[in-house]
Chain A
Amino acid sequence: MAVSAHEAVSPGPVRDHTPPARRSGGRGRSVLEVALLTVLAVVMLFPVLWMIETSIKENRDVYAIPAKFFDFKVTLDHFRDVFVASGGGPSTLSVSFLNSVVVAGVSTVLATVLGVPAAWAYSRFGVKAKKDQLFFILSTRFMPPVVVVIPIFLMYRQAGLINTQLGLILIYAAFNVPFTIWMMKGFVDEVPPEYEDAAMLDGYTRLQAFRRYTLPLLLPGIAATAVFALIFSWNEFVFAIFLTSSDNVRTAPPAIAGLIGGTTVDWGLVAAASVVFALPVLVFAYLVRKHLVAGVTLGAVRR
Chain B
Amino acid sequence: MSDPAPLTTDRPGQVASATPPARGRSRRLSDRGLAVAFISPALLLLLAMSVFPLLWALYLSFTDYSATRGGPAHFLWFENYTAILASAQVHLRALTTLIYVVGAVALQTVLGFTIAYLISRRTHGRGLLTTLFLVPMMLSPVVVGLFWRFMLDAQFGVINSMLGSLGLGQVEWLTRQRTALISLIVVDTWQWTPFIMLIALAGLTAVPKYLYEAASIDRASEWFRFRTITLPLVWPLLLIAVLFRAIEAFRLFDLVYILTSGGPGVSTETLSFHVYKVAFLGFNTGTASAYGILMVLVVIVLTQLYLRYLNKLKED
Which positions in A face B, CB cutoff 8 Å? 1-2, 5, 8-9, 11-12, 33-34, 36-37, 40-41, 44-45, 47-48, 50-51, 54, 62-63, 65-67, 114-115, 117-118, 120-122, 124-127, 133, 135, 137-140, 142-148, 150-155, 157, 170-171, 173-174, 177-178, 181, 193-194, 196-197, 200-201, 205-207, 231, 234-238, 241-242, 253-254, 256-257, 259-260, 265, 267, 270-271, 274, 277-278, 281-282, 285-286, 289, 292-293, 296-297, 300-301, 303
Contacts and interface: CB of A to CB of B under 8 A. Distances in A.
A289 B131 contact: yes
Contacts of B161: 65-67
Contacts of B133: 40-41, 44
Given A33-B122, A206-B31, 15 more contacts: A9-B159, A11-B162, A51-B147, A120-B38, A127-B35, A142-B247, A144-B253, A146-B272, A148-B50, A150-B279, A174-B45, A194-B18, A260-B149, A260-B258, A297-B240
B266 interface: no
B110 A47 contact: no
B62 interface: no
B118 A36 contact: yes
Interface string B125-141: 00001011111111111
Contacts of A206: 27, 30-31, 34
B212 interface: no
* Of A124, A126, A234, most B-chain CB atoms within 10 Å: A126
Given A138-B307, A143-B54, A281-B139, A67 B299 contact: no
Interface stretch (B80-88, B187-195, B213-221, B227-235): B187-195
B121 A148 contact: no
Interface secondary structure of A, over-half rule: helix
B98 to A, nearest CB: 16
A50 B118 contact: no
A257 B258 contact: yes
Interface string B59-94: 010000001000000000000000000000000000
Interface in B6-63: 11, 13-15, 18-19, 27, 30-32, 34-35, 38-39, 41-43, 45-46, 48-54, 56-57, 60
A45 B53 CA distance: 40
Interface size class of B (residues with CB under 8 A): 35 or more
B146 interface: yes
A125 B278 CA distance: 45
Contact of A270 (B53, B150, B206): B150
